[in-house]
Structures are given as structure tokens and as C-alpha cells.
Structure 1
Amino acid sequence: MNQQINQFQQLIASYVGKLFRDHFGKGPESAMVSIGSNSITIYFRNFLTPSERVLLEQNQETIIHQLRQALFQAMIPELASYIESVTGIKPHEFYYDWSLPNKSGMLLAFCPEPVPGGQEVSQEFEGKAELEQEIVSISQMAQKTPEEIISYEVNPRTILIIRNGILVRIEKELIRLGHSELLKGIKRDLENSYLHNNDNFENMLGKRVVDCFVDWNLDSDKSVIVLVLNAK
């Protein structure tokens, strides 16, 4: 890993911790930053505020999701500006998700041009074809077959899957009527039930799946899935 990317990773990880403390009053225990050619993935661990813990004990997960959604939306412009100040490239697209049971989460930024010194991602990895077929099957159960699916290995611990063209007509109508957040919440619950604890992933990839995250850009009819793996 070149020195420039290592410095970018450390600076962004440190800033994410500060951002969380400013907005949530508590930061994650760790933030692992992976910089690909035009993407920045931030995997944070051991993050749950005291108030969220109380709500979780009272089975009030919906409230936690709503609060986090609002706070993450407020954080994104600040994070985008900081990434631009560090790398010289301003991300144009953000995705995020979290796992309350695992106390972990993911922030993913796409940049309109390559990040200086960014690592070349691997278009070929063990189990790629089988993984994409499994994602197609899950998509069919939850909505429809994606018009396009792209997957690559950012590093030995991170696989990124992009799906384009997954919305059905009734979902597009809900978005037009202003029900995007409701739709996203329903889709998250539904897809997570298929994605989490999916033994097929581990059999295909030959590695244990530590975490799985999914998010959507409903306006662009696009979705991303991030698999966090145990390195061999």
C-alpha cells in the first residue's frame, strides 16, 4: 500500500470518528477505510449510543433507524467536503447502512474520477459468477432481476456489488408520490432477511462473511451491497 493512500485512510478514519462524536455524542470503536480506484468504503465497528441501547431493549428499532437516517443525511455533506480537502476529489454519491445486532455499519462514497493513488480493484475473484447469480436470485425474490449487476473485490476483506435497474413499477409510483423513505425501510428489512446468515455466500467465496450491508439510490434505480469478509 502506498504511503499516500495510507495517509488518506488514517485521516478519513480519524475524521469519521470526530463526525460521529459531533452528531451522536459517541464515536465507533474503529473505522476501517478502504480506497479503491473511484470508491471509498468506511466500515465502522462497535457503535451503539446509550439511548439507542435503551430503545433496542424496548424493541424500538424503527425509531433508531429514523434517527440515524436523519443524522447520517446531515453528516454526508461534511464528510464529502472533508474527503475533497484530503484527496482533491469530491464524492458525488453516498450510500450507508448499519447492523444494530452487530453494532457495525458502512459508509460508501463513489467519486466521479479516480482517487489519486487508489488501489486497483479486482474484477475477478473466487466465486464471482456464483455470487452474482445468488444476488440475482435474491433480487428476484425481493423485487425483480437487475438490468445490470457489477461486482468486484476492493480488497481481500471487502466485496462491492452494484445493481442497476431493480425497481418495479409500483415502487417507482411510491417514489413519485413521496414515499421513498417508507419504501427504503421496507426494502431494507426484506432484503436483509435474505442477505444475512446466507451460508451460500461463504461456500462460494471460501471466506466467512462478517457483515453485510445494502442501500439504494431510488432516484437512480441503483443499489449497492457490501460484503465484509474474514481475510484468509
Structure 2
Amino acid sequence: MEVKLQQSELSSEIGRLLRKHFGKGPEAVFVTIASPYVIIYLRHFLSPIENMLLEDNHTMTVEEIRDKMMRKLNDKIKEMIHSVTGLPIKEFYYDWTFQNGSGLLVGVEEKTERFFEYNYPNRREIETIIAKISAEAEKHPDITYSHMLNDRTLIIIREGILVRIEEQLIELGFEEALTLAKRKLEKNLLFQAKPSFQQLLQKEIQEIFVNWDFTLDKSVIVFILAPQKNNGQ
């Protein structure tokens, strides 16, 4: 099956799965398959109950509910990606931007080699800023690398970012609280650096998503970039 057909089929399957478990599915699901990555971008994905909680400033409650649900769906989504694409997904990440009603799911194939075909201008400068942000939030990553998967999707990988106190919190069972705290802190720092990223990329950043795999001591950051405007528009 060609990639466009796989992307279309996976979009439909993910939409149905989320609708079944959340009561309301996303209005739009955009899938990018670029081995070793599968990026699933969700638009307008908020249930009426979630909207009500967010209006009453219960953002943390919505995050906790979403995280609990996604932990139950992780394996199903990885199996679904494998069934449609044939890619054996080893890692899975997710994040939300509630003010936009959007979300992102990321599957990473079980491969270790680097993919230089996803290179892009000013890559090293982008990675340097990311490493500095990481150092401010926790510590300088052992490894930082990034790939421009298409004209709207930049993925940045960090490995070796946990400090000892975070490792201890995870061991004591505070993984969920740590995720919520790190998500808020790192997103604030990433948004502060947004003008610098945009200048280097020569593109507007529409959304920023971030998540971690504490077992692997690894993090994924994804920038969703604005579409290029055609001349005359």
C-alpha cells in the first residue's frame, strides 16, 4: 500500500478509536509517515465535559484524565500503526494544546540509525537552542538531533536528560506529577524561544508539543509549522 493510502487509512482508524474511548473524536486527523516516525496531528479534539472543565480552569484535571486514558490506549495505537504501515513501533509519545483543541501522537519505529535525508538549514543552531533550554529546565542532553519530516513537521529528539531527583521521583511513583510539571515548564521555555526558532526556520511555528519516555530517558519535541503562503495570497 502506498504511503498516501496508509496515511488515509490510519487517519480513519485513529479517529474511530479516539471517538470510541473519549466519546468525541477529533474533527480532523493528519498523518505523516516518514520512517522511523509516524506523526498523528489531531485538530478540534475536546469533549463537552473537557470544555466545561477547561472553562472552570481545571486544566490539570483534564490533563490527568487524558494521560490515564492514553496509557491504556498506547498498545492499541502502536498495534494499529503496525497493522496499517507495517512499521514495528517501539516508542510512543503524546501531548495536547487545549487552548487550540489540538493534540499530537508520535510513534517511533524500532531503528537505531540516523536519517540524514531529513536534514534542513540551520539544524545545528536549532539543536543548540534546544540543548540550552534543556539545561535550564533539567540538564544538558547527552544527545540532541532533529529531522524535518516535511514542510510542516519538525521533530527534535533528546536523549539523556533526567537528573537524579527526577529519577528518584519516578522510582517513588510520581511519574504523572513529574510529566505534568515538566510539560508546563518546558513548554514555557520553548515558547519563550519561539521567535529565535522562527527566525532560523524562516517559518511561523503554529504549535509546539513535547513528551518524554522516562524509561528510555528520552524526549520528543515536535513543531507544527504554518503552511507556506502562495504568492498573491
TM-score, normalising length: structure 2:
0.92
1:231 aligns to 2:230 (yes or no): no
Equivalent residue letter for 1:139 = S
Aligned to 1:162: 157
| SS class of match (2:134) | helix
Match of 1:217 among 206, 213, 218: 213
**Separation (CA, whole Å) in 1 of partners of 2:191 and 2:26:** 22
1:146 to partner: Cα distance = 0.4
Match of 1:86 among 58, 63, 84: 84
Q: Deviations over 1:145-177 (max 9, x none)?
A: 101001011111100100001111111111111
**Separation (CA, whole Å) in 1 of partners of 2:9 and 2:132:** 39
Equivalent residue letter for 1:154 = L
Equivalent residue letter for 2:89 = P
Equivalent residue letter for 1:203 = Q
| SS class of match (1:220) | coil
Identity %, equivalent residues? 39
Instruction: Return closer, same or farther for 1:58/1:51 CA change in 2, 3 Å cut-off.
Output: same
Match of 2:102 among 104, 123, 126: 104
| SS class of match (2:89) | coil
Aligned to 1:15: 13
Aligned to 2:231: none
Equivalent residue letter for 1:178 = G
1:127 to partner: Cα distance = 2.3
Aligned to 2:32: 34
1:89 to partner: Cα distance = 2.8
Output aligned runs, 1:121-140, within 5 Å. Answer: 122-140=117-135
Runs of 4+ in 1 over 3 A off after TM superposition: 120-123
Q: Which shifted more, 66-75 or 142-151?
A: 66-75
1:25 aligns to 2:23 (yes or no): yes
1:192 aligns to 2:187 (yes or no): yes
| SS class of match (1:8) | helix
Output aligned runs, 1:37-116, within 5 Å. Answer: 37-113=35-111
| SS class of match (1:219) | coil
Aligned to 1:183: 178
**Separation (CA, whole Å) in 2 of partners of 1:66 and 1:100:** 13
Ranges in structure 2 where 5+ consecutive residues have no aligned partner:
229-233
Q: Is residue 36–residue 121 contact of structure 1 (8 Å, CA) maintained in 2? A: no
Aligned to 1:148: 143
| SS class of match (1:126) | coil
Q: Deviations over 1:63-92 (max 9, x none)?
A: 100110011112222212222222223311
| SS class of match (2:180) | helix
The RMSD of aligned alpha carbons is: 1.5
**Separation (CA, whole Å) in 2 of partners of 1:158 and 1:27:** 22
Ranges in structure 1 where 5+ consecutive residues have no aligned partner:
115-119
